[in-house]
Amino acid sequence: MMFSNVRGIAAVAASILLACAFTFRHENILPKQHEPWKLGYWIWAGDKAIASRYAPQILYVQVQSDQWPEGLPRAESYVAVRRLEPKQELTRGLAGRLAQEYRALRHDPEARGRLAGLQIDYDSPTGGLKSYGRFLTILREELPAGTQLSITALLDWFRPNTAIEDVLQPADEFVPQFYDAGAVRTSSGIAESIAVEKWAPIFNAFQTPYRVGISSFGRIARRRYDGSGRSHIQFFRDASPLDFAGRRELRRSVTSTSAAETVVRYEVAVAMPDQEQLEPGDVVEMTLPTELSVRTAYEAVRRFGGYCAGAIFFRWPNRSETLALTPEEVTRALEGGTLASPVHVETANASCIERQCSDLYLHLGRDLSPTDRMIEIRSDHPTELFLPHGPLASLPVGSNRIMVRVPAYSATESVYLGRVISARPVKFEVLTP
């Protein structure tokens, strides 16, 4: 009887979804060809991208002119991304310039043969979709024949009675973004929970291939209240979790978002001389991606069916970032593993006269331990001097041991410990992970 009820409920649910698909179908958009499923990343302009053994199927690369970025990770195919700011005027001249620069990119030796198309990243106000659609139509005409035109898409565009059809008609692909989905960016929480039953019928009804944007990065923000009780938010681009972890001036609390991200809150109790941007009463909120937030989102996208052609993670980290997951970490999460990896120490030769010098780096994995940890590092031969440096409390203990205190929620993959000076080359190992 129980299994009969379950089958009945499933049949009803399937009927509802099918009915929704027909209800939402848009006759003004001609059906387009399905695209093969691909998993990829956005990679944004800035510092050089981190190296990785992982080669994505597709990489959406932000370009800022007609010059292809150097030092990109290898990928099976690329899409050039042009970011247009909300206040930028969408003119025919702009469309012509974008098309001309795209032609130049196609001839770049690094991109030739693997450049799959052009993506426009523009956060159009929902009320301005008709104007945006006209711009895309002009751009479509200006681009070389056969160019795949992709656009990013805000979730608000898909509510009833918008001009979303005008935008999707000239596009070959759209990428709805399930992060920062609100009208304003919040100080805590990035990812949006993906309700397949709601969104799959809506997206598939447009009969246009789409890939879903998923968050795999974190953020640190300060929230400050003024005299009227209104909050003001400042985002810290260069801050690291280790700038706040383990500080006695801060009161910590930890919560989770509906999308399974971890949010670590630090209330500033007293002034911090080395953090002049913080005042007593401020709240620092650190949003961190987790294996559950990444895996749950990806598994939801796999269930979309129809015209869904993959998932795109934002973003491939550059070398200065501490809160974006590496491709290896994302892969482990998708395979059911943990973001944590074995703690190990790495050395890099440093230039010294008449002595052997080594710079020590401690690799912690994505450490979200709720308690402080003590880690012991031992060398195979005695050393003469250890010069601690960096954000962790590292102390020499004897001639061949170093003790490192790692505070709770350090959330940092790799950290510099300092320089070791010795009479001969030495090797190091972690004894207490």
CA distance 245 to 408: 6
Same domain, 224 and 369: no
**pLDDT > 70: what percent of the chain?**
94
Same domain, 305 and 413: no
Same domain, 352 and 324: no
Predicted pLDDT at 210: 98
Q: Is residue 8 part of a domain?
A: no
Same domain, 294 and 386: no
Query: Which CATH number belongs to the domain containing residue 395 in this structure?
Result: 2.60.40
Q: Is 67 exposed, middle or buried (0-12, 13-18, 19+ CB in 10 A)?
A: exposed
Predicted pLDDT at 321: 85
For range 42-63, the mean pLDDT: 93
Answer whether residue 7 shows pLDDT above 50. no
Same domain, 127 and 248: no
Q: Is residue 42 part of a domain?
A: yes
Same domain, 231 and 315: no
Answer whether residue 367 shows pLDDT above 80. no
Same domain, 175 and 264: no
280-326 residue pLDDT tens: 999 999 999 999 999 999 999 999 999 999 999 999 999 888 899 99
For range 194-199, the mean pLDDT: 98
Residue 245 structural domain:
219-288
Same domain, 170 and 194: yes
Same domain, 207 and 284: no
**Which comes out higher in pLDDT, residue 4 or 145?**
145
Same domain, 156 and 31: yes
Same domain, 410 and 353: yes
Cis previous bond, 265, omega within 30 = no
Query: Domain tally for the chain?
Result: 3
393-403 residue pLDDT tens: 999 998 999 99
